[in-house]
Each structure stands twice: as C-alpha cells, then as structure tokens.
Structure 1
Amino acid sequence: MARGTRLSGATLLVTGGGSGLGRRMALGAARRGSRVVIWDVNAEAGAAVCGEIRAAGGSAEAHAVDVTDREAVAAAAAAAGPVDVLINNAGVVSGQPLLDATEEAIERTMKVNVMALSWVTRAFLAGMASRRHGTVVTVASAAALVGVARQTDYSASKFAAFGFNESLRAEVRAAKLGVNTLVVCPYYIDTGMFDGVQTRWPMLLPILQEEDVATKVLDAIEAGRRKLVLPPLVNVLPVLRILPVNAFDRLMDVLGVNRTMDNFTGRPNSREKSANGGGLPGRQ
C-alpha cells in the first residue's frame, strides 16, 4: 500500500472546485483541517465555495483559472505555492453522439479532460517530489473502464485520463519520488446533470451521491489507495472484454449500459451552473 497523505494541516488544491463533486471535496477537506485552494474557471463559483469554508472557520482561497491555458496554470500555481494534494477534477461532457457534437465541443472535451492533466500536474509534481510527499488525484469516470454510446469523445478522454494516471504512477514509482497517485472512476453522480440518465438495473448501478463520493475520495487519499471505482461492481466491466465482441455487445445491451444516455439533456443553464467545475457547458 502506498503512503497516504494526512489531510489535517495539508494544502489541498482542487480544479473545478466551484461546484458539484469538486465543491464537496473542497468542503470535506476543509472540515478535515486542510487549507484548500480552489481553481475554477467561474470566479464567482470558486469564491462562493471559498466563502463557505471561511464562514465555517476553515482556510481557503479561490482563483479563476482556465486549466487549458498553460500560462494561466503556471501563474496560478506560482501564486498557490507548494501543495500536498492535487485533485485534477475539472471535466466536461457533452453527452452528444459523435456526429451531433460540434468540433469546438469535442476539442474542448479533450483540452479540459486530457491535456490540462499534464499542465496542472507538471506545475506541482516537482515540488511534491522535492519533499518526497504528496498525492496526485485524477478524477476519471466509469466511462474510462468501458465505452458507452453518446459518449465517444468523453469516453476517449476518460480512457486517456485513466492512462495518464497509470503512466504517472509508473513514473513516480520508477523514480522513487515518494508521491502517491490515485485514479477515481465513479458511475453517474447526482449533480443535477444526469436527471434523464437511466439504467436497466438501477438497484445494481445506482446514481451516486456527491457527498458520499467526496468522502470516499478523501478517505482514499488518506489511506494511500491508488484506485477507487464506485460502485465497486463497475470493476467487472473491463473484465467482460475477454468475451467475444458479439457477446460483449449483447451483454451491454441486456444491462442497458448503452441506453443510459438516451434522455440526456445536460444541466439547465450549464454555462452558469456546471455540475462539476463551474462555468463550462456540460460539467460532470
């Protein structure tokens, strides 16, 4: 088991911390005694969460940062200083079939969900390595474990995020940097984003609650875990790929996995109320 990072007295930075799961993790970390740094492209959303933490007696600061802007990331990282925990949480999802999604939306998905991981992690990893201490968290998705209809660009980005974490873990282990990595792969989270999402077997694959997911992520950071899949049943999906392709496709149909996004409409006014990161359309 890798060495965990104690949150009491730690500095924790979360991207997309202005709403959704990011907000819950920020609030939860503050309750555990962390100094919290919130990055969000929506300045008002980040400031509001910062205010919540301070009102409860915690320590927090918020910065308006577009994680796809390398210069903005570098400047904000310099202002934040060293961190003990980095949570790469910012993400976008359009929920559109590939032929319906705009080129701009596809490009934005890849920039936020994939490219930004490198810019943000590079900004803090050297500092963690110099202290031989810290945790880098990558919030991926259950879509990183199996592709789903109407999520082609999103699934591709989350497969990449999963691979990013896996390769980063190999790098820090080979170099003995003393830094832990954790990938988080949750099923749909009840952020208001997925009201139309359905499953064939809802009792086996329930919509997850933000507070519960946030608590489990923070527990995993302190425990030094390297992978967190929620609910645990989702772990079986990649294993099913050993089946012949036709059998695998048929099983996905029976389970209803490829119909979950049929009624997806996104979150109303998502430009202002993103589900997990603030200010960008279709946050998850």
Structure 2
Amino acid sequence: MQTFQNKIALITGGASGIGEIMTKLLLKKGATVLIWDVDDRNFNRLQSSYGALGTLALFKVDVTDMQSIHTTAKKVINEYNGVDLLINNAGIIVGKYLFEHTIADIDKTMQVNANAPMHVTHAFIDSMMERNSGHICNIASSGGLLANPKMSVYVASKWSLIGFSESVRLEMEQLNKNIKVTTVMPYYIHTGMFKGVRSKIPILDPEATALTIIKAIEKNKKMVTIPGYMYRLIRFAQAILPITIFDWLTGKVLGVYHTMEHFTGRPTRD
C-alpha cells in the first residue's frame, strides 16, 4: 500500500483493543477510518479522542448478520466509493474445553472469526477489482498454526481464516489484480480478550503489535507472525520432530499447552 494518505480504511472490531490502536495510527497517517463494531458504547469516546486527528466514521455492525454486513457495505461503497484498506480484525474467544462449549459458543466463534472475514471481504472485493486497487488484511492468530487445549474452536476458526486469506491472495495474483492481501498471526496480546493467560513466551504489547501490523501493510507483506520467529519455529519443529517430541517441547518445555489454564477473558470482540 506504501501510503495511507487520503485512503479509506475500514476496521471491523475497531472500537477497542488493537482495532482502536490501529484506528489512531491510520488517522495519524492521513487515512479516513471507518469502524465497524457491534458494541457502540465506545463510539462517543472514540470520536472525542480521535476525531480531531482526521475523518472518523463509526458504524454499528454485527458481522454475524449478513443483512447488516451487506446493507452497510452498500452504504460505504455509495458514500466513499468503496474502501482502499479492509482490516478484518473482529474476533472472539470462549477459552474452554470443547465439551464445555455450548452450540451457540461454537457457532458464534466460527461466525465472527472465520465466516465474517469471508462475507465482509466478499462485500467489498468487487469494487476493489473494478478499481484494480486495494489491500485486505486479515488478523488471524498464531493459534492458526498450533493446536492448543481450551482453544479448539478458536484455533479451528483461525486455521480457517489463514487458509482463506492466503487463497484470496493467490487468486488476486493469478488474476493479475493489484489487490494485496496480508495475513497476520500474532501470539497472545495483552488485551481484555486474553485476560488471565500465562505464558513463558512474552505476551505481546498492544501498541507495538498494532504498529507492526500497520507497517506490514505499508510494506505489502504477505504473511506476518508476531513475534517474527513464530512461523519458522513452529513449522520447522513440526516438520522435523515426531509428534510426541513436539508435544513435549511445546507443552512441557515452552508451556504453551498450559497457557489457558487461568484464562478468564471475555467472549466479546476486541
């Protein structure tokens, strides 16, 4: 993307967490930022805090509601001629063993984390292709690379998102379209969404994470893990180690399989 000056950026789940921080960073870089969020309680605060930095528009949108997505997408396309940057950031986690999930828990997690990015992207991809310009950034998770207890449904949703994101990138390249796709896979971030997580690997700072994501978009990076060594470490270890040894290293030595034991979090977008 190179520059955000005078660009239209849309962030789902942008009213809190790293979505809010990315909003601030993009406004400072000259972008018009559109926030889609199901929780509008922070809208007045966001407008007061960041409205002076640039043009900020707030839309109450439930990304599990197809009618809400497509109605609001049409409004955005009509008013702003589409978006230059789409960041699919909205996400939730339940943080329980599978048998403790309700059917609603499973469906909601998949709807928000996996289905919503597909539907929101689908709502804007035609206008991007018509202009032959745009950038899509999907915020997945390192959980999309690595199985973990008490995260089975969350992990499934993020594996799905990584596969979707990479496939769309390849489709755009195959069609010779000037539409870039960045897949981001962060480790745990120190926000309310992951409250209670304990980890030997350092938990990520939200400000630094948001800045890394924005820089990755500027540089048109295809895949980004945060920290940067995560992808190579996981894939290399999975490739060379027997499963029992990999589980021992990941679970006993690094303690990853125990990170969710004290999780409290909150089952809302962050």
Q: Which category describes the TM-score, using the shorter chain as reference length?
A: over 0.9
Q: TM-score, normalised by structure 2?
A: 0.94
- What is the 5 A alignment of 1:165-180? 165-180=165-180
Uncovered stretches (5+) of structure 2, i.e. residues with no partner: none
- Aligned mates of 1:59, 1:118 — CA distance in 2: 26
1:275: which partner in 2?
none
1:162: which partner in 2?
162
Which SS does the other structure have where 2:224 is aligned?
A: strand
- Aligned mates of 1:125, 1:87 — CA distance in 2: 13
The amino acid that maps onto 1:123 is A
1:179-217 per-position Cα deviation (integer Å, ceiling 9, x unaligned): 000011111111133342112x3xxx2111111111111
1:160-189 per-position Cα deviation (integer Å, ceiling 9, x unaligned): 000010111111111111100001111111
Indicate how the Cα distance of structure 1 residues 59 and 44 shifts in structure 2: closer, same or farther if over 3 A, else same: same
1:276: which partner in 2?
none
Question: Alpha-carbon deviation of 1:5?
Answer: 4.4
- Aligned mates of 2:87, 2:195 — CA distance in 1: 26
1:108: which partner in 2?
108
1:271: which partner in 2?
none
1:98: which partner in 2?
98
1:67: which partner in 2?
63
Paired positions, count: 263
Which SS does the other structure have where 1:83 is aligned?
A: coil
- Aligned mates of 1:266, 1:188 — CA distance in 2: 12
- Aligned mates of 2:180, 2:40 — CA distance in 1: 30
Quick check: 2:33–2:57 contact (8 Å CA) kept in 1?
A: yes
More moved, 39-48 vs 70-79: 39-48
The amino acid that maps onto 1:84 is D
1:52-88 per-position Cα deviation (integer Å, ceiling 9, x unaligned): 221x331010000011111111111111121000000
1:6-56 per-position Cα deviation (integer Å, ceiling 9, x unaligned): 2111000000011001111111100111000000001222443233221x3
Indicate how the Cα distance of structure 1 residues 283 and 41 shifts in structure 2: closer, same or farther if over 3 A, else same: closer
Which of 4, 8, 21 is matched with 1:7 structurally? 4
Quick check: 2:28–2:53 contact (8 Å CA) kept in 1?
A: no
The amino acid that maps onto 2:132 is R
Which SS does the other structure have where 1:105 is aligned?
A: helix
2:218: which partner in 1?
222
Which SS does the other structure have where 1:177 is aligned?
A: coil
Quick check: 2:186–2:226 contact (8 Å CA) kept in 1?
A: yes
1:24: which partner in 2?
21
Which SS does the other structure have where 1:146 is aligned?
A: coil
Question: Alpha-carbon deviation of 1:129?
Answer: 1.3
The amino acid that maps onto 2:131 is R
1:79: which partner in 2?
75
Which SS does the other structure have where 1:107 is aligned?
A: helix
1:131-188 per-position Cα deviation (integer Å, ceiling 9, x unaligned): 1111000000010111111100000000000001011111111111110000111111
Q: Which has the higher contact order (CA 8 A, sep 6+)?
A: 1
- Aligned mates of 2:124, 2:44 — CA distance in 1: 22
1:248: which partner in 2?
246
Deviation >6 Å, runs of 4+: none
1:217-251 per-position Cα deviation (integer Å, ceiling 9, x unaligned): 11111111111110112121122212211111111
Quick check: 2:13–2:269 contact (8 Å CA) kept in 1?
A: no
Matching of residue 49 in structure 1 with residue 35 in structure 2: no
Uncovered stretches (5+) of structure 1, i.e. residues with no partner: 268-280
